[in-house]
Structure 1
Amino acid sequence: MVTSAALLHPVRLRVVQALLTGDGLTTQQLHERLSDVPIATLYRHVGHLVTHGLIEVSDEQPVRGVTEKTYRVVEGLANPSAEELRALSPEELVTTFTMFTSGMTRDFSAYVDQGELDLVEDRVSFAQADFWATTAEVDAFFDIVMVALRELMTHEQGQGRTRRVLTTVLIPRPENAVPSDNA
């Protein structure tokens, strides 16, 4: 029973954000990352996320007489394929998108937490641009972007390169929606 309402709590959203960073974390590792959250509260919210099908146990290890569980975001929600997205209900789609945007928020927070920032020097950017295009025009646009992106993805670490992430979201805007002034 995947539900976006299960994410509508700041602690649960932070748990999911933490789990999006890798292969999985134990409750103790989650507590180290979310040290302001009391351990009992953390256990309760982890249980809630498991019950609602957003995270799952990926491993269990015996540690000092107890079973230590490692949790991860449910595989289909972490990075779903087009086929998996087609199979989701509207509620599950909202949950998946919430998790996606939560990951963007986590990444931006990690950037901001580094200290002194120079958004211009670091080429940090986020904006929206409304435009009118046919499906063929959108496909042609993405073909151009993908050619440029594939070239960048072949680059090796070093030589003054900074690891960067490009996140895209493209959705049709309802025709009666107010256009964005962020273009």
Structure 2
Amino acid sequence: MAEPADLADVILHPVRFRILQQVGGRDVTTADLRTALPDVSQATLYRHVAALVDAGILAVAEERRVRGAVERTLTLGDRMAHVDAPELHAMKSAELRRWFLTFLAELGRDFERFVDADDAAVLRDFVGFGQVPLYVTTDDLAALQNGLSELITPLLADSGDGKQRVLFSTALVPDPDPPPASRPGA
């Protein structure tokens, strides 16, 4: 299993990031992944799936023979696919910038796939984005993150009841230049 310092490299590789998006909350076969990621060669896809399995981020839920080959069904593993605060603190600025830009590029790719979909107009009820400033302490932020986790946990798995799958993305970016009235001691 990968050490925590290596986790960001494992998760935030663009192909692995896309694989995790496909698996999130449901079991998928390697054939499902090949269909969902047609621009990724089979050998490349299998190599990245293996890296995610080795890191404990993906797990093999089932293996079965299909026309002489082994078809794997994958699910999320024991290790949550998330880069935590200590790992973020340990990153150099250039590395943090690179990972954030990878995140943004994949977010943009997801949005493009949505806009280009045949049923994009029907799905517009499920799209939203915005930005709002929050005024928080580290304790407030922890409470917000815990509350958000509690709120979304029941929605993470496909219950098979016809709910629309959406990709929920978050980014917290501290404002290095807040207005003078909001600065401590102002």
Under TM normalisation by the shorter chain, which class is it?
0.5 to 0.7
60 and 103 in structure 1: CA distance in 2 versus 1, 3 angstrom threshold: farther
Give the alignment of 1:5-16 within 5 angstroms: 5-16=9-20
Amino acid at match of 1:33: A
Question: 2:129 aligns to what?
Answer: 126
Residue 125 of structure 1: CA displacement?
3.3
- Residues 133-152 of structure 1 mapped to structure 2, 5 A cutoff: none
1:178 aligns with 2:177: yes
Task: Work out which of the residue numbers 37, 58, 61 in structure 1 matches 2:61.
Answer: 58
- Aligned-residue sequence identity (percent) comes to 34
> Larger % of helix: which?
2
Gaps of 5+ in 1: 144-156
1:23 and 2:26 matched:
yes
Residue type of the partner of 1:28? A
Listed one character per residue, the Cα deviations across residues 142-170 of structure 1 (whole Å, up to 9, x for unaligned) are: x9xxxxxxxxxxxxx9xxxx969695858
What is the letter of the counterpart of residue 90 of structure 1? P
Change (3 A) 1:101 1:64: same
The CA deviation at 1:68 is 1.9
Task: Read off the aligned partner of 1:36 and give its amino acid letter.
Answer: D
- Identify unmatched segments of 5+ residues in structure 2: 92-99, 148-160, 180-186
Is the counterpart of residue 68 in structure 1 residue 71 in structure 2? Answer: yes
CA contact (8 A) 1:17 1:106 kept: no
For the aligned residue pairs, the C-alpha RMSD in angstroms reads: 4.7
Count of aligned residue pairs for this structure pair: 147
Cα contact 2:14–2:106 (8 A) shared by 1: no
Q: In 2, are the aligned partners of 1:24 and 1:70 still within 8 Å (CA)?
A: yes
CA gap 1:29/1:124 in 2 versus in 1, 3 angstroms: closer
- TM-score normalised by the chain length of structure 1: 0.54
* 1:92 Cα offset (Å): 8.9
